[in-house]
Homo-oligomer: A and B are copies of this chain.
Amino acid sequence: MKGNVIVGQSGGPTAAINSSLAGVYRTAKDRGAKKVYGMLHGIQGLMEEKYIDLSEHITNDLDAELLKRTPAAYLGSCRYKLPEIHENREVYEKIFEILDKLDIEAFIYIGGNDSMDTIKKLSDYAIVMGYPTRFIGCPKTIDNDLALTDHTPGYGSAAKYIGTSVKEIIRDSFCLEYSKGLVTIVEIMGRNAGWLTGAAALAKGEDCAGPDLIYLPELTFDLDNFMERIRELLAKKPSVVVAVSEGIHLEDGRYVCELGANVDFVDAFGHKQLTGTAAYLAHYVANEIGCKTRAIELSTLQRSASHCASRVDILEASQVGGAAVKAADEGDNGKMVVLKRISDDPYQCSTEVKDVHKIANDEKLVPREWVNAEGTYVTDEFIAYIKPLIQGDVSPVMVDGIPRHLYKPSH
């Protein structure tokens, strides 16, 4: 590389996003980039000229290893959607003025759907205006809902945490017996896509029956049918554990969490902020049956639990970061790196690049045939797809009993 590289992180943080950052940094340095800049809080920070020189932060190999083990976005993230080019050219002029000043050859953006929209618009603008900077997207989202890629870095670690935690919750739920039984509802992230919720099935194995029911947001949720199944299960066993997506909704489109008294918030992308699905269902079951119920939200923990990361995921995240730099260096523009599964047994996965126009703003959902006919559990195909992604561990660097992260002074 002849110029410099700038990298940003965008959207919801994950346990693997910093491993992609480490991969970008390492490959950029290996390929001769003079400087590797990091945007602080993504494109939003960049527009305010907030960025750092990463080599001042990653000073040796141990720092790079710590970075891979540090959850959340080291550089800070943002949820900022660029205006359409014809609506506000000034924003683009400003961004390219900064990129020009920093002599940026490659602009790498690590993020999900909304972030790929940023890559699309910036690369379109660069091509139209004749700017030389190349824009490459690096997939990241625990939601695993990006099109064209077999899966997204960040998903495997979240899935491993969900499987592990749901198994521990199931173990716990059988300890105390209640006269009318115990129903535990575990609420898992994923507004429209059930990839994370389906990962609850990973709890199932020789030593654990797994959750009893799994409800994905792709299918309509029927409260009466749900109650019928709960009653049937309670007739057979003292403890019932149900995994539900935060985004499950009724046939009329209302989210289950809206049925309670929760306030609705809408974020910058117009997405409804969901909360309280498990709490609502737990109260509902308790009222209807009179049994003991428990609502557990895996919350932020499922996306930030680096201490329980998947080795496959952390390695792939780093590889994808490196592949993004390589693609830019080799002349690609307006592309996103994707993971392509070559083989399931043994699991093998390589990287490719795909046109970001085919990815941005598109959402990959769990296929209907990967959910059973009743809509109450994922199939063996789903589990076979996900199993390779949670393999192996990344031992945290423990200092005084607690995992060490790479420190950034402002945090």
Q: Please list the residues of chain A having a beta carbon within 8 angstroms of any beta carbon in chain B.
A: 9, 12-13, 41, 70-73, 76-79, 160, 163-165, 167-177, 184, 202-203, 205-209, 261, 263, 283, 294, 296-297, 299-301, 303-308, 310, 387, 390-393, 398-407, 410-411
B305 touches A163 (CB 8 A): no
The listed residue (B72, B164, B403) touching A307 by CB distance below 8 A is: B164
Question: Given A301-B301, A308-B308: A402 and B167 within 8 A (CB)?
Answer: yes
CA distance A401 to B312 in the complex (A): 10
Cβ–Cβ < 8 Å partners of A79 in chain B:
176
CA distance A188 to B61 in the complex (A): 36
Closest chain B residue, CB of each to CB of A403:
B164
Interface of A is mostly: mixed
B401 touches A168 (CB 8 A): no
CA distance A410 to B236 in the complex (A): 12
Closest chain B residue, CB of each to CB of A15:
B168
CA distance A390 to B300 in the complex (A): 23
A13-B175, A78-B177 known; 14 other A-B pairs, CB under 8 Å?
A13-B172, A71-B168, A72-B168, A72-B172, A76-B174, A163-B402, A167-B405, A169-B304, A174-B410, A203-B402, A205-B399, A296-B299, A297-B299, A307-B308
A175 touches B76 (CB 8 A): yes
Determine how close the nearest CB of chain B comes to the CB of A315; give it in whole angstroms: 14
Can you list 11 A-B pairs, Cβ within 8 angstroms, ordered by A?
Answer: A13-B176, A41-B177, A76-B175, A77-B175, A168-B304, A172-B303, A172-B304, A202-B401, A296-B297, A387-B401, A390-B402
Closest chain B residue, CB of each to CB of A283:
B263
Cβ–Cβ < 8 Å partners of A405 in chain B:
167, 171, 207-208
CA distance A89 to B305 in the complex (A): 51
A407 touches B207 (CB 8 A): yes
Closest chain B residue, CB of each to CB of A405:
B207
Closest chain B residue, CB of each to CB of A159:
B401
Determine how close the nearest CB of chain B comes to the CB of A256; give it in whole angstroms: 17
Question: Given A72-B172, A300-B296, A401-B387: A407 and B208 within 8 A (CB)?
Answer: yes
Determine how close the nearest CB of chain B comes to the CB of A181; give it in whole angstroms: 14
B165 touches A305 (CB 8 A): yes
* Count of this chain's copies in the oligomeric assembly: 2
Cβ–Cβ < 8 Å partners of A296 in chain B:
297, 299-301
Cβ–Cβ < 8 Å partners of A310 in chain B:
401
Cβ–Cβ < 8 Å partners of A303 in chain B:
172
Cβ–Cβ < 8 Å partners of A407 in chain B:
206-208
Select the residue from A12, A13, A70, A202 with max chain B CB neighbours within 10 A.
A13
The listed residue (B72, B160, B164) touching A171 by CB distance below 8 A is: B72
B402 touches A77 (CB 8 A): no
CA distance A169 to B403 in the complex (A): 13
Determine how close the nearest CB of chain B comes to the CB of A171; give it in whole angstroms: 4
A401 touches B160 (CB 8 A): yes
Cβ–Cβ < 8 Å partners of A78 in chain B:
176-177
Question: Given A202-B401, A207-B406: A70 and B171 within 8 A (CB)?
Answer: yes
CA distance A172 to B17 in the complex (A): 12
CA distance A411 to B175 in the complex (A): 9
The listed residue (B206, B297, B306) touching A168 by CB distance below 8 A is: B306
Determine how close the nearest CB of chain B comes to the CB of A170; give it in whole angstroms: 8
Cβ–Cβ < 8 Å partners of A203 in chain B:
402
B174 touches A411 (CB 8 A): yes
CA distance A411 to B209 in the complex (A): 7
B402 touches A176 (CB 8 A): no
Select the residue from A76, A207, A308 with max chain B CB neighbours within 10 A.
A207
Cβ–Cβ < 8 Å partners of A390 in chain B:
401-402
CA distance A305 to B169 in the complex (A): 9
